Structure 1
Amino acid sequence: MKQNLKYYPKARTHTFHFDHVHIKWNQQVPLHQQETWELSYIITGSGVRIIGDIVENFSKGEVILIPPNIPHCWSFDESVHDSKGNIENITIVFENVFLENCKNIFPELMNSISELQSNENAVSFKNELLERLQTLMTSMIDQNSIERLSSFIQLLELISYCKEMQIVGRPVSENKKEKKLQEIYLFILNNFQRNITLEEISRSVGMQKSSFCVFFKKMTGKSFFTYLTEFRIESSCQMLLKTKLSVAEICIASGFSDIPYYNRVFKKIKNIPPTQFRKNAEHTRTSEIQ
């Protein structure tokens, strides 16, 4: 799979790159990797992401740390946006050489930065730490360069010793099979909302249908269409939670063409129909507010 590489400018007047954007849902960078660290905060938007070897749903509020050379991309849902139709996020990109320089210049940061560098996996943060990161990253929007540098040092300290986090992506090995599987995941991510035939997906990754089926089952433990159906159901769950679209609209938007079939499959996988799933979520949110 050919991956697009995103290179942020190495501005000599700044030690890291701070990017705060309001853009349309489909203007995100496609699958890419870089030799830098990346800290991303999703302020508005939700959808599906690929980070290394993991494909899963994401929603607003997440703060994700991605170490160097892990391929990743976010695919935003076009129905989740602000009043102007935009998604919003903050991305902070910094180089490993900057971390090394910090250790040499500031002995106080030696242990925390070494701890950070020892992490090879992409992680998301939780609970009180997540709220502190959100607040600190948001405050950086209106800060000058000196204030941002101070905030960035605080960010490094916070994420270095974090224990309240979960792995959301791992490095992709040089194994050809793993790379082929990631290529399949990317195809699903970009095409799950429409009909996908076995002929099309196998051809897109340069395999015969029979070989593709055997390969996918061996790598994932599931048939391709079982995986695709579960992926579509999970995506529809995000739309039920994050949008006001009707169940019929969500059915179509998540790749199903028949509403009764969608309802049956949803209930089989989630043990409740989609309407009840949405009501339960709304009841939970109301209870939390009260």
Structure 2
Amino acid sequence: MKQTVQNIKFCPPPTDNERSFFVDHVRIPPNEQITFHQHEALEISYIIVGSGNRVIGNTMEPFSHGEVVFIPSNVPHCWSFDDFDTWPDGTIENITIFFSPQLLENAYLNFPELRSCILKIQQIRDAVVIAESTITKVQVLMKAMMAETEIEKFSTLLRIFSLISSEQQKNVVGRPVAEDRNTKRIQRAYSFVINNFQKEITLNEVAQHVGMDKSSFCTFFKKMTGKTFFTFLTEYRVESCGQMLKKTSLSVSEICNATGFNDVPYFNRVFRKIKQVTPTQFREGKSVKSTVNLL
């Protein structure tokens, strides 16, 4: 059972007065991953084992193991991990580097050699996934930090900064969102989908969760996302089906039932309409990537 996200949590990173950055390496069950949150620290997150769907700012996308994402200050985010893509002991694994804006500012002011690199990092306002041209190097460096001293880690962090700042094009995977009443409501609706998409969902249930009546919620959701709630729900279920088709040996009918469709012919029609291929063709590699913008 995945955790319920009631709201965006302002979560201070695990740093202290003696450190300007912190490296967190965890192996935990999928449902213990922190829920939707944001913090002042900048973050570099490397998924070693695990897959599912992530929300960063205004964007929901599927993710797979191996990706490295850079997240600027105060961009809300969470990773919702699949239960079927884990180590044999049922855990997922990731490494996250947290560092303060002051680290960048101090480096820029005190080390002329770093100014060009640091300025480029400071100018990144959106969450970005590290490009294929540099991702392997970043992965190796982040893993190496696990056996390094604090001074060695700092040197490695500067090398990672250099790699990120050298990328010419940034693949944006999430943008900041305004923190107002409507934003909080749409995030509550989205969290409800994450936690309940595998079963039947009624408009009354999700409207009540958001704190609105059914009619007002339908109008609100369409205005905020450009699509009806059930269109959004169906697209989310299809994305989850795609992940299961790629990463498990479950049959199409088993995946259909596990993601809330419960009707194989209907599921096949909907999947083909959204992905332009059948579930079987998708499993064979004929896929079409899709991204759901929340706001």
TM-score, normalized by the shorter chain, greater than 0.5: yes
Question: Shift of residue 217 of structure 1?
Answer: 1.4
Asked if the contact 1:50/1:186 (under 8 Å) is kept, the reply is no
1:128-277 matches, within 5 Å, as 128-277=133-282
TM-superposed CA distance for 1:193, in Å, is 1.6
Deviates more, 1:144-153 or 1:249-258: 249-258
TM-score, normalised to structure 1's length? 0.92
Q: List structure 1 segments (4+ residues) > 4 angstroms apart after TM superposition.
A: none
Determine which of 30, 38, 43 is the counterpart of 1:33. Answer: 38
Two-structure CA RMSD over aligned residues (Å): 1.7
Deviations 1:228-279 (A, max 9, x none): 1011101110111122222222212222222222122112222322122112
Partner of 2:78: 73
Per the alignment, do residues 138 and 164 of structure 1 end up closer, same or farther by CA in structure 2, a change over 3 Å counting?
A: farther
Which amino acid is the alignment partner of residue 126 of structure 1? Answer: A
Which secondary structure state, in structure 1, belongs to the residue aligned with residue 92 of structure 2?
strand
For 1:269, give the aligned amino acid.
Answer: I
Q: Percent identity?
A: 49
Aligned in 2, Cα 1:281/1:82: closer, same or farther, shift over 3 Å? farther
What is the aligned length?
Answer: 282
Match of 2:28 in 1: 23
TM-score (norm 2): 0.90
User: 2:136 is aligned with what amino acid?
Assistant: E
Q: Distance in 2 between matches of 1:243 and 1:131?
A: 25
SS at match of 1:26: helix
> What secondary structure is seen at the aligned counterpart in 2 of 1:275?
helix
Change (3 A) 1:51 1:221: same
Higher relative contact order (CA 8 A, sep 6+): 2
Give CA-to-partner distance per residue, 1:49-93, whole Å, 9 cap, x none.
111111111111111111111111111000111122111100000
1:127–1:164 contact (8 Å) kept in structure 2: no
Q: Separation in 2 of the partners of 1:71 and 1:183?
A: 13
CA drift of 1:21 comes to 0.9
Q: Which runs of 5+ in 2 are unaligned?
A: 1-5, 288-295
Whole-angstrom CA distance in 1 between matches of 2:270 and 2:159: 47
Q: Give the AA of the match of 1:141.
A: M
